[in-house]
A and B are shown apart, each in its own frame.
Chain A
Amino acid sequence: MAVNATMHVARPGRRDACLDWLQMLSGASLVLFMWCHMILVSSVIISPKVMDAIAWFFEATYMAQLGGPVIGIVFLFHFILAARKIPFTSYEQKTIWEHAKMMMHRDTWLWVVQAVTAMIVLIMGGIHMWVVLNDLPITAMKSAARMQQTGWTIFYLILLPMVELHVSIGFYRILVKWGVISNKTRPLAKRGEYLLLATFLFIGFLTIIRFLTLAIH
């Protein structure tokens, strides 16, 4: 038997496996949340009243009061878990940047995009949540009023694509990492991912335009 064949006697046990599960589950639930969130806010395109009605429903069932902070916690929790993989040291950042430039490989770039958007979403998403949850209930009018201020307009024009990129890439990569997408279905999945991104960006921008053009009583 090789001399160093038993070098892994002391093992960290199931810790890494559990953290990986939790990272995936928290990510998946945030993806789900973001889709629901999109349904809520984009309902303003149909009519502010529909949006208000959905918001009232969340309010009346206390889902907003309780769910909001829970999402906030999951949001932070997901960040902490995923941060295990995000390059924070300058050495790591330099390495991965050089690597991405060298490879010119789409999936590698997608991951870089995901890591960068993660940082932006962490800050901007945090601000967004703080502001919204401190001013319940959510109504179309209040949202419109906020978004029509120039600073907030720019804020959401940045946040929207960042979130959508992070979510759609994240969703695709969960499926890849856990082997739901095989090498056979990968080209199809990739197209699906782009379609998802385009659709949500389209609806998202439409929603922003709607908010910007909404007359405030």
Chain B
Amino acid sequence: MGRKLQFEIFRFNPQDPLSVPRMQTYFLEETDKMTLYIALNRLREEQDPSLIFDFCCRAGICGACAMVINGRPGLACQTQTKDQPAKIILHPLPVFKLIGDLSVDTGVWFREMYNKTESWIHTNKVIDPHQQEERMENEVAEQIYELERCIECGCCIAACGTARMRDDFMGAAALNRIARFMVDPRDERSEDDFFEVIGTDAGIFGCMGLLGCEDVCPKQLPLQNQLGYLRRKMGITAVKQLVPALGKIKLDKLKIGKFIPGGDK
């Protein structure tokens, strides 16, 4: 017990005309089972109340506290200081707009994403909730949930080389969202409909396969598998549109359009 931790924290308050982007050093004695949640709050309450950072559930469930921790995007609340070197360097997530210090605006980015991907069930059925619900295989429900687990922390976007270079790239979070609705039998969108949304370089064909998203996702979503699956599916959809005769081929029989649920890790 009792390492002296050195924090190098990015500081910039856009609302303060005198503020300039800089790194600021803080020291703190490490305590048993200390997380960055504990450490940062102690810094704010004991040393510098002007520090800006976000926490919400502080249990790794809500995704509010994503930041770059010694170079890697991750959730601060579930980062133990004992797993880090004595010098801990903290930056805000790139790509997202900076609110101040370590806090970034993920809310607006994701809300725009909902609209781009039309992140809701598309159906023409009128459902009366007083009647018995439509049946669904439990396995399908679990597959949907596996992809629904995204907490929109933004780590995958910050870890994506493409997203950093290109503002219009949708990123793994959005593509995963599409995959979630593709497996959902309640959504009546066709492959062609989904192709409209993600069949471009801003969508699945912009992905360069760097796998930063896969390796930083704090919820261990099967992003690599989903991205690969979507590329095949959308690639084949494009070919089918060009050569309609191929449309009769059942993807699943060829095993190339097979859904790979997560949990491999």
What are 6 A-B contacts defined by CB distance under 8 Å? A14-B199, A17-B234, A18-B242, A111-B209, A179-B228, A180-B228
A103-B68 Cα distance, complex, nearest whole Å: 9
A91-B224 Cα distance, complex, nearest whole Å: 27
Stretch at the interface among B101-109, B135-143, B159-167: B159-167
A204-B105 Cα distance, complex, nearest whole Å: 51
Identify which of A18, A85, A179, A180 contacts B238 (C-beta below 8 A): A18
CB-CB nearest in chain A for B239: A21
Per-position contact with B for A26-37: 1 when CB-CB < 8 Å, else 0?
000000000000
**Does B133 sit at the interface, judged by CB under 8 A?**
no
Residues from chain B with a CB closer than 8 A to the CB of A19 are 201, 205
Residues from chain A with a CB closer than 8 A to the CB of B197 are 8
Per-position contact with A for B160-197: 1 when CB-CB < 8 Å, else 0?
01101100000000000000000000000000000111
CB distance from B97 to the nearest CB of A (A): 16
Do the beta carbons of A20 and B235 come within 8 Å of each other?
yes
Known: A20-B205, A20-B231, A102-B91. 19 other contacts (CB 8 A): A4-B115, A14-B199, A17-B238, A19-B201, A92-B165, A96-B164, A99-B94, A101-B71, A107-B210, A107-B215, A173-B209, A176-B224, A177-B207, A178-B228, A178-B231, A179-B229, A183-B264, A183-B265, A186-B224
- Among A15, A104, A178, the most chain B Cβ lie within 10 Å of the Cβ of A178
**Does A7 sit at the interface, judged by CB under 8 A?**
yes
Do the beta carbons of B235 and A17 come within 8 Å of each other?
yes
A11-B116 Cα distance, complex, nearest whole Å: 13
Chain B residues with CB under 8 Å of chain A are: 68, 71-72, 91, 94, 114-116, 118, 159, 161-162, 164-165, 195-197, 199-201, 203, 205-212, 214-215, 222, 224-225, 227-229, 231-232, 234-235, 237-239, 241-242, 260, 264-265
Do the beta carbons of B199 and A183 come within 8 Å of each other?
no
Do the beta carbons of B208 and A16 come within 8 Å of each other?
no
Q: A7-B116, A11-B196 are in contact. Are A183 and B225 (CB under 8 A)?
A: yes
Do the beta carbons of A179 and B227 come within 8 Å of each other?
yes
Residues from chain B with a CB closer than 8 A to the CB of A17 are 195, 199-200, 205, 234-235, 237-238
**Does A217 sit at the interface, judged by CB under 8 A?**
no
